[in-house]
Amino acid sequence: MKNISHIEFYTETKEERLPGFTPDFPYIASCAQLDKYRDGFVPWHWHKPVELFYMESGAVEYCTPQGSTIFRAGAGGMVNSNILHMTRPQGKDEENIQLNHIFDPSFIAGEAGSRIEKKYVVPITAASQLEIIALYPDDPQQAQVLGLIRESFRLREQDDGYELQLRAALSEIWLALLALSRPLLKEKQRYSKTNERIKPMMIYIHEHYAEKISIAQLAAATFSSERECFRLFHNCLHMTPVEYIKSYRLQMACQMLARGREPVTSIAQACGLGSSSYFGKVFREQTGCTPSEYRQKWQDHDSRGQC
């Protein structure tokens, strides 16, 4: 199980990079130590694989375009394929550990177009109203599923037949999630996939954050109106386009500070944040420390602790 304290993105698509994820075995397990994340939260992102998780300790808030959900220790759930989401720990001074199965639906569906995919997998992955499935231990039926998820993390790679045991465990969990979701699946899909329409805007920002970006440029580059641009950011990310641009620039600044030795002034300019004085001001507002203090803290930080 890989221990993580930050996420990275593919240059081409800006989806989350999943180290160790391979076509012949599209699955990874991770232990997210959320209280040790560099930015104090996991920024907005998406990935085709589904994310099945269990809260080992602490509490976390998941945000999706439809709203936010709190998961405390003992709870868990699943984030659907290609859904925009972000997470942030709820406690500042408590251990916050989340166990994750991240896998492509084909891992349990088999060949594309198979009967298993059509009958059991697509009903969930194609349901726009199912952005996230929440599971809580005080509900008996959901508690059973949480028990299956918790037990599935006990499987070890060195065990004989590990891959088959894992696929069997995830298939059993998936079948249980499908049963829990049937009432929602029977409803008419009232939700439009607005998160698919905002992704090109986010990608444009990710590619041009070092430059000056006007809302008119952003809208024109993604074949939208400025009004539509503001509406999508408000409805999906619950912030304005300008707030997202600033937030993303600060995320990039944090990465540069943690990894390199470039002068703070150079990083400010490279991230599109202007002068070092303005950069210092907005950086302190966001992180509670100066860029130099942040660099010193995270360049010496060992993020390879054991879960």
**Average pLDDT for residues 108-113, to the nearest whole number?**
90
**Average pLDDT for residues 134-154, to the nearest whole number?**
97
d(CA 64, CA 192): 13
Residue 7 pLDDT: 63
Residue 4 pLDDT: 60
> Is the pLDDT confidence value at 303 over 70?
no
Provide the pLDDT confidence category of residue 219 given band limits of 50, 70 and 90.
Answer: very high
Percentage of residues of the chain with pLDDT beyond 70: 88
**Helices 241-259 & 291-299, crossing angle to 10 degrees?**
50
DSSP-assigned beta bridge partners for residue 60 = 71, 89
148 contact partners, CB below 8 Å, separation of at least 6: 169, 172, 173, 176
Residue 91 pLDDT: 74
> Which one is predicted more confidently, 27 or 189?
27
The half-sphere exposure of 228 on its side-chain side, counting CA atoms within 13 A, is: 14
Residue 302 pLDDT: 42
**Average pLDDT for residues 42-55, to the nearest whole number?**
92
Per-residue model confidence as pLDDT tens digits over 168-214: 999 999 999 999 998 888 765 555 566 778 999 999 999 999 999 99
Residue 68 pLDDT: 92
Residue 306 pLDDT: 45
Per-residue model confidence as pLDDT tens digits over 65-81: 888 999 999 999 999 99
Q: How far apart are the first and last CA of the chain?
A: 9
> Is the pLDDT confidence value at 103 over 90?
yes
> Is the pLDDT confidence value at 106 over 90?
yes
Percentage of residues of the chain with pLDDT beyond 90: 58
Residues 71 and 91 sit within 8 Å (Cβ to Cβ): no
Residue 181 pLDDT: 92
- In degrees, rounded to 5, the angle at the alpha carbon of residue 241 between the alpha carbons of residues 46 and 197 is 45
pTM of the model as a whole: 0.81
Q: Are strands 59-64 and 67-72 parallel, antiparallel or unpaired?
A: antiparallel
Residue 281 pLDDT: 92
d(CA 230, CA 42): 23
**Average pLDDT for residues 21-44, to the nearest whole number?**
84
DSSP-assigned beta bridge partners for residue 175 = none
Residue 189 pLDDT: 57
- In degrees, rounded to 5, the angle at the alpha carbon of residue 65 between the alpha carbons of residues 242 and 10 is 70
Provide the pLDDT confidence category of residue 305 given band limits of 50, 70 and 90.
Answer: very low
Average predicted confidence (pLDDT) for the chain: 87
Per-residue model confidence as pLDDT tens digits over 116-138: 999 999 999 988 888 999 999 99
Q: Are strands 2-4 and 27-33 parallel, antiparallel or unpaired?
A: parallel
> Is the pLDDT confidence value at 39 over 90?
no
Least-confidence region, from 175-184, 267-276, 293-302: 293-302
d(CA 232, CA 238): 9
